[in-house]
Structure 1
Amino acid sequence: MDQVIQRKIEEALKGLFSAVSMLQEAYPGKPFTLDGRLVGDIGEVVASLAYDLTLNEGLTKQHDAVTRDGRKVQIKTTFGTSLTFPVHHVPDYYLGIRMNRDGTFEEIYNGPGHLVQAELLGRKATKTGLHGALMPMLKRISQKVPEADRIPKR
């Protein structure tokens, strides 16, 4: 491998692992691993700081947090243009956010999971267990969710 490329890879990895260590120190309850969970873990922590919910510790199936009144919340995060929704279960609440590089975020969807599921009834199940390419649909549905059916902000 080209020495210049090798050095750049080594420097980038050093920076990534340094960032992961900083994230783990700031919020010890999440692993922030570089195996595909990093974006989700970041989104969950950002959501827990912005919304009135409590994160589950570690990894839990089918939901990431609970509201004050005990409803389960699934949080999905992207830095891009695609959010997913589960095929095989419906969360009480679904919170979809798009992160910005500066740590701010845009709320894409905040509301009951059954409203999203109703829009997806005609879609075929996928091998991944997730419906994808939902950003426009989620934005449209979210505009119709009454304030009382949203996870309140802190």
Structure 2
Amino acid sequence: MKESIAQLLAVVDTLRKEYPTRRFTLDGRLVGDIGEVLCAEVYDITLLPALSHQYDARTSDGRMVQIKTTMQKSLNFPADHSPDYYLGVKILSDGTVQEVFNGPGEVIHNALQQRKAHPKNNLHSLSIRKLEELQ
């Protein structure tokens, strides 16, 4: 186990050196940080400083973008606001990005209005299939 952890930390250290605007912590931020960097390489967006309030990037025409990333079957959407622009992606096992949703956050926000309960963690969970239907 010690050797495996050391290898993981070495990978994190390499990522931090290559992309110094992200921390790539193993305690829950790793997938999100990787997704943000991959999206910046694929889309015409510029990343904001790490952990900026509500947004992760800005488009070349000035729109603010919230990026959500998964390696599972669902993505989160904020319950307390509707992002100007929402980019939801899934990282595939080959390291490529599958676009799940790329558009105004208002589209998802409006679709969630039918939900009665407000999530305790302030994040709605939506299946990839549902987000693709809204696309």
**TM category, shorter:** over 0.9
Q: Does structure 1 residue 86 correspond to structure 2 residue 78?
A: yes
Instruction: State the 1:136 CA deviation.
Output: 1.5
Residues 27-66 of structure 1 aligned to structure 2 (within 5 Å) = 27-66=19-58
Bigger strand share? 2
Gaps (5+ residues) in structure 2? none
Give 1:107 deviation, angstroms: 0.4
Is 1:24 the counterpart of 2:13 in the alignment?
no
Task: Give the 4+ runs in structure 1 shifted more than 4 A.
Answer: none
The answer to whether residue 130 in structure 2 is matched with residue 137 in structure 1 is yes
- The residue identity in structure 2 corresponding to 1:90 is S
Amino acid in structure 2 at the alignment position of 1:104: T
RMSD: 0.9
Specify the alignment match of 1:114 in structure 2. 106
So what's the TM-score if we normalise by structure 1?
Answer: 0.84
Mapped to 2, the partners of 1:99 and 1:28 lie a distance apart of 21
What are the within-5 Å matches in structure 2 for residues 63-74 of structure 1? Answer: 63-74=55-66
SS of alignment partner, residue 66 of structure 1: strand
How far the C-alpha of 1:15 sits from its partner, in A, is 1.2
State, as a whole percentage, how many aligned pairs show the same letter: 47
**Matched pairs, number:** 134
State the distance in 2 between where 1:84 and 1:130 align.
6
